[in-house]
A = this chain, B = another copy of it.
Amino acid sequence: MGRPKKKRGGKPVLTLDHIVETALGMADEQGIEQLSMRKLATELGAGVMSLYHYVADKDTLVEALVDRVASEVELETTGDWTAAARQLAVATHEALLRHPWAIPEWSTVWPGPYRFALTEQLLEVLAGAQLPPDVADLGFHALTNHIQGFARQRVAYGDTRTDTEEMRNRVKGLLTQGDYPRVAEHVRYHVDGHSNHDEFGYVLDLILDGLARSKADCQQ
């Protein structure tokens, strides 16, 4: 059986881009915990150690993956600073929901260039708003916390996209058993009525309105 030996040397057949892109696909499908160097190499039709010519570590590969997610956020914005901040927030939120595995990494991993550019852009927008410095700072953290916190919650407690059988059972148990009535009430509040509404955008606007108001207060 003439199984050809794997090629060695010469013109590169792998690319960092190709590696990252494939890894991204695998992480999207199976979660990042299931992503191993070996599986990734096999998927690429390469040997494991070949990857290490392009990537120092598994950790730095993950950093690259997260930055790849950050790269999906469109930085161009239109309108005044509230509109711009809103666009950035929504785009980031959507990128995170597209790659749920990235949400816990997002705040753990050291940022790559795209992530830094995104942060820079949001800070730039807030700077353009001419808010008092401490309000701008508060606003920045409120926005980023909202983005991350909201995405985390949707993934942790049952977005339709990421539901598992086990999770649904746990939620059901929480609702039927009588312990923690307030928690149950809270869960029902979300499950029942308000999932239709765009909760993320709603709270986002509350934050932005608050910032705008505190600017107006200041200028009077």
Contact across chains for A117 and B180 when beta carbons are under 8 A apart: yes
A179:B116 contact, CB within 8 angstroms: yes
Within A177-213, the residues touching B (CB, 8 Å) are: 179-183, 185-186, 189-190, 194, 203, 206, 210
Among A67-75, A80-88, A133-141, the stretch in contact with B: A133-141
Q: Tell yes or no: A107 within 8 A of B by CB.
A: yes
Interface of A (DSSP majority class):
helix
Q: Which residues of B contact A133 (CB under 8 A)?
A: 189
Copies of this chain: 2
Query: Of A10-18, A43-51, A146-154, which binds chain B?
Result: A146-154
Q: A119-B183, A170-B110, A210-B210 are in contact. Are A189 and B149 (CB under 8 A)?
A: no
Closest 4 CB pairs of A and B: A145-B149, A123-B182, A145-B145, A120-B180
Residues of A in contact (CB 8 Å), total 42
Interface, chain A (partner B; CB < 8 A): 104, 107-108, 110, 116-117, 119-120, 123-124, 127, 133-134, 137-138, 140-142, 144-146, 148-150, 152-153, 156, 167, 170, 179-183, 185-186, 189-190, 194, 203, 206, 210
Distance in Å from the Cβ of A58 to the closest Cβ of chain B? Answer: 12
Most buried by B among A138, A150, A190: A138
Q: Which B residues lie within 8 Å of A123 (CB)?
A: 182-183, 185-186
Q: Could you list 11 A-B pairs, sorted by A, with CB under 8 Å?
A: A104-B107, A104-B108, A107-B149, A120-B180, A123-B182, A124-B182, A134-B194, A138-B203, A145-B146, A145-B148, A210-B210
